[in-house]
Amino acid sequence: MSRPSVPRRSVLRGALGAGALAVASGPLAACAPGSSGSEPRKLTSTPSASAKGEITIWNRSGDLFKVFDAAIDAFRKAYPDVKVNHQAVDIDAKLANTLISGTDLPDGSFWDDAKIGGQVEHLYDLTDLIAPYRNRTSAYKLSVNTVDGRIYGVPWDLDPGLLWYREDLLEDAGVDPAGLKTYDDLLSAARSLKEKNPAAGPIHMEKDPFLGQLWLEMLAGQQGTSLADEHGKVRLDSKEYRTTLNWIRDAVDEGLVTHAEYLKQADLAALENGQQALVPWAVWWSFAPQQLLKKTKGKWRAAPLPAWTPGGARSGAMGGSSFIIPAKAKNPELAWLLYEFLCFKEPGYSAVYGPSEVYPGGLTTSVPSYAPARRADRPLFEPVAALGGQDLWKVAVDAADAIPPAAPIPAWWNKSVDYLGNNLQRLMEGKMAPDDVIDDSTKKIQRNLVDRA
Amino acid sequence: MISQSKERNSERRKSLSRPAPGPFQYLVLGLLAVVFVYPIWWAVSSSLKPPAEIVRDPLSFSPGAATLDNYRAMFDDVPIGTGFLNTVLVVAVKGAMTMFFCPLAGYAFAKYRFPGKNLLFGVLMLTLMLPTLVLIIPLLLEMSQLGWVNTYQALILPGSIDAFSIFWMRQTIAAVPDELLDAGRVDGASEFGIFARIVVPVIRPGIAALGVLTAMNIYNDFVWPVVAVNDESHQTLQVVLSTLAQNVTGNRVGADFATVWGELLAAGSIAMLPVLVLFVLLQRHFINGILAGSVKG
Amino acid sequence: MTPTTLTPARRERAAPAPPRPARSRRRPFLTPYLFVAPFYVVFAAFGLYPLVFALQLSFTDWKGAGEAHFIGLENYTYLLTSEEFWSSLGNSAVMWLLIVPVQIVGGLAAAVLLANARLRLRGMFRVAFIAPFVTPLVAMAQVWIVAFDTDYGLVNHLLGLVGLPGVDWLQSTAWAKPTLALLFLWKTTGFAVIILLAGLQAVPADVYEAASLDGASRKRQFWSLTLPLMRRSIAFLVVVQTLAVFQMFAEPHVVTQGGPYGSTTTGGLYLYNHITTSDLGTGAANSFLLVLLVFALSLLSVRLLRSRDE
């Protein structure tokens, strides 16, 4: 569900908002709004089914908005006395500002997991409300929304990494997709493909610095680590990152990769002409064969990611969003009611993921975070024709179960792309060694972001 | 008018000693003119093409196949109408303030002697040196202290009376003969009356140029509106425009970039149109005003 | 009928009083102050106050929320020892080199051609040159993204037509700066031409007449007469464009977001980036360093252009 197409700009724009945000409240301002106590505001009381009132809910504009709009209609039927103003808003640009200035706040909003950790002082502590659903919710999603033991976001979509591959090409090269169990296996498969087609660079390497770093985090997340630990300390200098970066360098050195920007023209061409056949990427890549790859539609399949060590986790998360309730919302209880409905109640989540006017086959770009909503035997979306009728639901929910927990995403994550993301690109271009990527990025992130945060 | 006719005379005399330009000069100027105008034409004409065509052949344009699809898609995506109305409001109010107060201050600096004038003028000139960006952060803080974030006054008041316009008007008004003013004074006109009834009519071309330049600057302003306002209902056209790329690429599953381009070009064209029309209609005033008013000091 | 013609009659009517010398008019003392006051009121409220605020902020670690702590010069020393700060200035300096000399030389050439009253279609040329100046920057920046796209852009398409390979305009560190410089040049050169044209026309005609009587060639006339007399206009332009180039923000913000590898992160964009990370104290400090630099550069260019002549 996170942005399947070119999110870099939007993320930067978001950062812009996040900045303007800060500025919107005065430190030196006589009245710092609502910051009298440092205790997080806790939301505990749950209203009954006869709840009454009006709430304003923000979502991103675009097709996703239409999908949520339909789901909110279902909510309106269940709670006829709650009036929901559903608004399409440029959340990245506005929400952070609005939270701080405290004016015209929505009662609830969709937000990137990456943004939530940095803004918890403006959000309701939802720990007690989520408690009944906690052990059935993805541990990864809970971990990114938890700061100091308190949960601030209602976990929405889960975006497991999968291995996307060209079934026909692998078969031609004699590679059994089921045998791709480790990243070493992936390299061997790439070698076989290259033997068959010397022009091939079978493995996709991301050229956009932001997405490249998000991708690296997926690979690291598979190994149970992430850029910062729960105290915000940089933990790039680790065995896990070293393993990953060395693997990338080996693949590059052997000429087994295609270095292209996510679904830009060069990338699409290389996907269509057989040059690329192995794309380790989040589930939201599914929209490429459905909408963009006209020639090779139907030839793509999804499998679990390889593991870094035999028997290791077969997936990691790449992106994701949750719902937040601003600490100064007027009707937080009703907003919770809505989000509880969408995330944890069958009519709610199936209205979003199931077949809809916008997506006749269902929404295939993510899966729910709530385990009962992602049972392998109860698919919410249909098998995908562009994947040769493969049951993507099953592959995705199995992968989702495998994602290890991580840590809240630090507020400076987007900004760190200037260092880690750029250095990763240098590595992919063969201009920087893995150890230098780690040392240089760590040093610069520490100096320019952590120390100044 | 006075300064203009003078200028035209001297120009004519000057060029008598010059030969008419040759074909080479025309060629150079012609090529340059094409380079300067073509991007505008290209943006507007491409915005009328079906998206796939923009990508397939950037050069082609057949008026017969023109379509407004890109515009329709864009209107569906972003509140460009609201943005346009906000811009019109800001241009009207802020522009009116500039147009009233700047010539008045320029008049005082050009035609009055008063204690502290040099100091005041020095401060004015110094503010010209101040990069706008310096003020962005603290100004935004000030707006939030005043509770003005997301308001029209935040868009309008800061910079509504600017040093450059005053300086420019001072240059223009300095060329108005003192005798004219004395005449008015002897006639018993009030100080403001002299300004309104004698100075303003004489410098009308300069004021027209100031008007065009001011309207254009406010219309095109981006940095301040983008930070001062985060709520859609107050966003100006430029801000709406700048978020378009984000809105269309970021959130629509499956939108291909040709469609996105079509919308970008449509939005760009629609934003350009009003200023270009205004400029073409008033270009003579605009250019002559700058010619008459600039760099004489 | 211009007011001039009325003057004598009116004066006569008021004759009894002896004509006062022009400079000692009796006027209400407050009038000029009233006339200039609005500017200073607005400036005090939305210029001076935030400026003082910013200065104060530049000595704190304030992040946009919570308490602000006084940290002395730390923000300044952080910047002055920061690789990125210097590289942002370096990027701006390169931009300056790509823009200002080209614009002055090209603008002068165009202005000289346009100043010729025997030029046909003169008005049309003037309109053509200045049209880009009135287009909204954001709109044109987006047009630039599309036109300079590596795969499908207009420019690479044109190169292809004449058999040249396409260029990675916005994705390569070598080309991204020139591509942005081109946008800036395209947009503002018309303004420069008009300013220079004004300067040219302000040169008194008699100077040329005297020179041609002396038999000076037109080339020599340009170098020895026109150029020196134009130094004010040129200095004005250099100062204005130096300010603009070092503060350049919207172009890279919209077109490249400062990339690739930070190669288009200009002084202005780097400053803006502090806002995006809520590092407001550093942002304020950065502002003042930038102001100092721009101020020094302006003084320097004025000085240089003056001394050459005197």
- Mean per-residue pLDDT, A263-273: 90
3-class DSSP assignment, residue B198:
helix
Note the pLDDT tens digit of each residue in A142-180: 999 998 899 999 999 999 999 999 999 999 999 999 999
Task: Tell me, yes or no, whether A339 and A287 share the same domain.
Answer: no
CA distance B155 to B158: 7
C245 touches chain B (CB under 8 A): no
Task: Tell me, yes or no, whether A209 and A111 share the same domain.
Answer: no
The label of the residue with tokens 């999804």 reads: A302
Strand duo A53-59 + A108-112: pairing: parallel
Residue B292's pLDDT is 66
The label of the residue with tokens 């052997």 reads: A254
**Residue C266 in tokens:** 């200009």
- Mean per-residue pLDDT, A395-408: 94
Count of all residues that appear for chain C in the document: 310
A-contacting residues in B 233-252 (Cβ below 8 Å): 243, 245-247, 249-252
Count of all residues that appear for chain A in the document: 453
CB contact under 8 A, A92 and B250: yes
3-class DSSP assignment, residue C235:
helix
A35 touches chain C (CB under 8 A): yes
Residue B228's pLDDT is 83
**Residue C299 in tokens:** 């003084």
The interface pTM score, or ipTM, of the predicted complex is 0.83
Report the gap between the CA of A295 and the closest CA in chain C (Å): 19
C157 class by beta-carbon count within 10 Å (0-12 exposed, 13-18 middle, 19+ buried) = middle
| Domain edges within chain C | 74-309
Give the chain C residue nearest B238 (alpha carbons). C138
CA distance A372 to A400: 13
Q: Is the pLDDT of residue B232 over 80?
A: no
Considering only CB atoms, A90 lies closest to which of B227, B247, B257, namely B247
CA distance B153 to B84: 17
Interface test with B, best of C26, C36, C88 (most B CBs within 10 A): C36
A206 phi and psi angles, rounded to 5 deg: -80, 130
- Find the domain containing A330 and state its range: 9-159+319-374
CA dihedral C118, C123, C129, C131 (to 10 degrees): 180
Question: Could you tell me the pLDDT band of residue B188, with boundaries at 50, 70 and 90?
Answer: confident
Q: Is the pLDDT of residue A15 over 80?
A: no
Return the ∠ at Cα A215 (arms to A211 and A221), rounded to 5°.
Answer: 140
A449 touches chain C (CB under 8 A): yes
A399 lies in some domain: no
C229 class by beta-carbon count within 10 Å (0-12 exposed, 13-18 middle, 19+ buried) = middle
A266 lies in some domain: yes
Chain A residues lying within 8 Å of B243, measured CB to CB: 13, 90, 93
A6 touches chain C (CB under 8 A): no
Strand duo A53-59 + A82-88: pairing: parallel
Given a contact cutoff of 8 angstroms between Cβ atoms, the answer to whether B90 and B236 are in contact is: yes
Q: Furthest-apart CA pair in chain B: how many Å?
A: 75
Lowest mean pLDDT among A277-281, A325-329, B73-77: B73-77
CA distance C169 to C172: 6
Residue C194's pLDDT is 86
A29 touches chain C (CB under 8 A): no
C300 touches chain B (CB under 8 A): no
Note the pLDDT tens digit of each residue in A52-96: 899 999 998 777 888 899 999 999 999 999 999 998 877 876 788
Task: Tell me, yes or no, whether A247 and A329 share the same domain.
Answer: no
**Residue A256 in tokens:** 């087994």
CA distance A82 to A180: 51
B22 class by beta-carbon count within 10 Å (0-12 exposed, 13-18 middle, 19+ buried) = exposed
Give the chain C residue nearest A449 (alpha carbons). C277
Neighbours of chain C (3+ CB pairs under 8 A): A, B
A262 touches chain C (CB under 8 A): no
Task: Tell me, yes or no, whether A184 and A283 share the same domain.
Answer: yes
Residue B240's pLDDT is 85
A287 lies in some domain: yes
Note the pLDDT tens digit of each residue in A272-313: 999 999 999 999 999 899 988 999 999 999 999 999 999 999
Question: Could you tell me the pLDDT band of residue B58, with boundaries at 50, 70 and 90?
Answer: confident
Q: Furthest-apart CA pair in chain A: how many Å?
A: 71
Task: Tell me, yes or no, whether A183 and A57 share the same domain.
Answer: no
Please report which helix (H) or strand (E) contains residue C75, including its range: helix C74-80
The label of the residue with tokens 């996170």 reads: A2
C13 phi and psi angles, rounded to 5 deg: -60, -35
CATH architecture of the domain with residue range C74-309: Orthogonal Bundle (1.10)
Residue C39's pLDDT is 95
Interface test with C, best of B8, B12, B36, B54 (most C CBs within 10 A): B36
**Residue C126 in tokens:** 């003037």
CA distance C196 to C161: 36
Note the pLDDT tens digit of each residue in B246-291: 554 443 434 567 777 888 889 889 988 888 888 888 887 777 777 7
Considering only CB atoms, C67 lies closest to which of A22, A27, A100, namely A27
Q: Look at B242 and A326; give whichever has higher pLDDT.
A: A326
Q: Is the pLDDT of residue A12 over 60?
A: no
Percent of chain A with pLDDT over 90: 70
Chain B residues lying within 8 Å of C289, measured CB to CB: none
B-contacting residues in C 135-174 (Cβ below 8 Å): 135-140, 142-143, 145-147, 152-154, 157-158
Question: Could you tell me the pLDDT band of residue B245, with boundaries at 50, 70 and 90?
Answer: low
Residue A49's pLDDT is 61
Chain C residues lying within 8 Å of B238, measured CB to CB: 136, 138
Per-residue DSSP letter, C223: I
Per-residue DSSP letter, B58: T
| Domain edges within chain B | 22-67, 78-293
Domain total in chain A: 2
CB contact under 8 A, C64 and A23: yes
Question: Could you tell me the pLDDT band of residue B206, with boundaries at 50, 70 and 90?
Answer: confident
In the CATH scheme, what is the homologous superfamily, with its name and number, of domain B78-293?
MetI-like (1.10.3720.10)
A167 dihedral zone (left: phi>0; alpha: psi -120 to 50; beta): alpha
How far lies C109's CA from each of C112, C116, C189, C200, C227, in Å? 5, 12, 12, 11, 11
Sheet containing A278-282: order of strands: A257-260, A203-206, A278-282, A161-166, A300-304
Given a contact cutoff of 8 angstroms between Cβ atoms, the answer to whether B109 and B170 are in contact is: yes
The segments of chain C whose pLDDT lies below 70 read 1-27, 64-66, 306-310
Closest to C286 measured CA to CA, from B202, A243, C294: C294
Given a contact cutoff of 8 angstroms between Cβ atoms, the answer to whether B146 and B86 are in contact is: no
Residue B17's pLDDT is 52
C-contacting residues in B 218-257 (Cβ below 8 Å): 219-220, 222-223, 227, 237-238, 241-242, 244-245
Note the pLDDT tens digit of each residue in A374-383: 999 999 999 9
Q: Which residues contact A109 (CB under 8 A, 6 or more apart)?
A: A57, A58, A59, A89, A91, A95, A323, A324, A326
User: In this structure, what CATH number is given to the domain that contains residue A430?
Assistant: 3.40.190.10
The label of the residue with tokens 């004021």 reads: B207
Q: Look at B20 and A435; give whichever has higher pLDDT.
A: A435
Interface test with B, best of A56, A97, A159 (most B CBs within 10 A): A97
A23 touches chain C (CB under 8 A): yes
A382 lies in some domain: no
Task: Tell me, yes or no, whether A271 and A325 share the same domain.
Answer: no
How far lies A86's CA from each of A40, A154, B173, C54, C286, in Å? 26, 18, 56, 39, 41
